[in-house]
Amino acid sequence: MTDEGSIILEVNSGDEITKRLDIWLSQQMLDLSRSHIQKLISQGNVKVNDQLCTSKKATVQQGDKIILTIPPPTPLEIEANDIPLDILYEDDALLIINKPAGLVVHPAPGHPEGTLVNALLAHCDSLAGIGGVQRPGIVHRLDKDTTGAIMVAKTDQAYQHLQAQLQAKTARREYLGVVYGSPQTDSGTIDLPIGRHRIDRKKMAVTPVERGGKVAVTHWEVKERLGNFSMMLFRLETGRTHQIRVHSAKIGYPIVGDTIYGKGRSVGVNLNGQALHAWRLELEHPVSGELVEAIAPLPEDFLTLVEVLRRRSG
């Protein structure tokens, strides 16, 4: 690192690279998309051998020194939206929501409204700034098309306490999912690091730690065998982006309805997203210390899918 927000990189002889600057940087910076890197280049945030470079097609050579500056994100102007919330638990410190499919958790450029954060600001006007301006109160996230329980902190103290529980792995997060296939054993653990996909930057993939992957551990158990499908319980030990979806697909049992990591074939049931539901949250209350358990009822399309598969499997 150099000045705050700047990273020094060097092109060495061991790099298996193309010569284009944007491609080389995307191979080094796994947490940044290639389009983001191209934008940083065009905006004058990259120097090659101390010379400003604004061309993404510029070539790099062995021994070149690259300085990449990542400016701080511009805070979004987030407005409150009156969106109905399915509340599983609420008090002065903690809120647990049953998130429906299709609801994005927090705003992003190009998607400033209609998110869970917009709805939370309308429901509870004290959230602003807790855990960051762009993600007020959000302790963890769920994918847009994953349903179920998500916890929200109402105070800074609650936010820090809940974050610490996730890091210490004392908060229990369990998911129910329907997968293609039927595992030979009834339970198991997937311990495979996850990082950004090296080609498709919108996807995640099993990635060695030395290439930027982060430790990811998922425990699973077969709850019901449904012919060529299975309903499985997943328990997260870590919380990487798309973790269950990537892990289950990697071991050969992708989530039904997952258009990114799944098989993409129809099962004859109209699903609102992938058949993955954050079913149960168990945590220590950040103020009282008492055990809080929240169970999110399964959505109608998930129940329909299971019933259809039961009938087919006899």
Residue by residue, DSSP assigns 29-74 as -TTS-HHHHHHHHHTT-EEETTEE---TT-B--TT-EEEEE-PPPP
Identify the CATH number of the domain defined by range 6-69: 3.10.290.10
Count of other CB atoms within 10 angstroms of residue 156: 12
150, 96 Cβ separation under 8 angstroms: yes
What are the pLDDT digits (tens) for 37-80?
Answer: 888 999 999 999 999 999 988 988 888 899 999 887 666 578 88
Residue % of the chain over a pLDDT of 90: 64
3-state secondary structure (DSSP) of residue 292: strand
SS3 state of residue 178? strand
Instruction: Decide if 22 is catalytic.
Output: no
Q: What is the pLDDT of residue 1?
A: 40
- What is the rounded CA–CA span in Å between residue 234 and residue 218? 7
Which of 50, 64, 143, 200 is the catalytic position?
143
Task: Check if 6-69 and 87-168 are the same fold.
Answer: no
Q: Which residue has the tokens 């299709």?
A: 102
CB atoms within 10 A of CB 64: 16
Decide: 66 and 51 in contact? Cβ < 8 Å: no
Query: Which CATH homologous superfamily contains domain 172-313?
Result: Pseudouridine synthase (3.30.2350.10)
Indicate left, alpha or beta for 264 from its phi (over 0: left) and psi (-120 to 50: alpha).
left
Q: What is the pLDDT of residue 3?
A: 46
* Mean pLDDT, the chain, integer: 89
Number of Cβ within a 10 Å radius of residue 148: 28
pLDDT tens per residue, range 227-275: 999 999 999 999 999 999 999 999 999 999 999 998 767 788 999 999 9
Specify the CATH number for 87-168; select among 2.40.40.20, 3.40.50.300, 3.30.2350.10, 3.90.550.10. Answer: 3.30.2350.10
pLDDT band at 283 (very low <50, low <70, confident <90, very high): very high
Indicate the angle between helix axes 21-28 and 34-42, nearest 10 degrees: 130
Q: What is the SS3 assignment for 207?
A: coil
Domain regions of the chain by residue span: 6-69, 87-168, 172-313
Kindly calculate the radius of gyration of the chain based on its CA atoms and give it in whole angstroms. Answer: 22
What secondary structure does DSSP assign to 269-287, as a single string?
S--SS-SEEEEEEEEE-TT
Outline where 196-251 has alpha helix (H).
243-250
Is 212 in contact with 197 (CB distance < 8 Å)?
no
What is the band of 30 on the pLDDT scale with cuts at 50, 70, 90? low
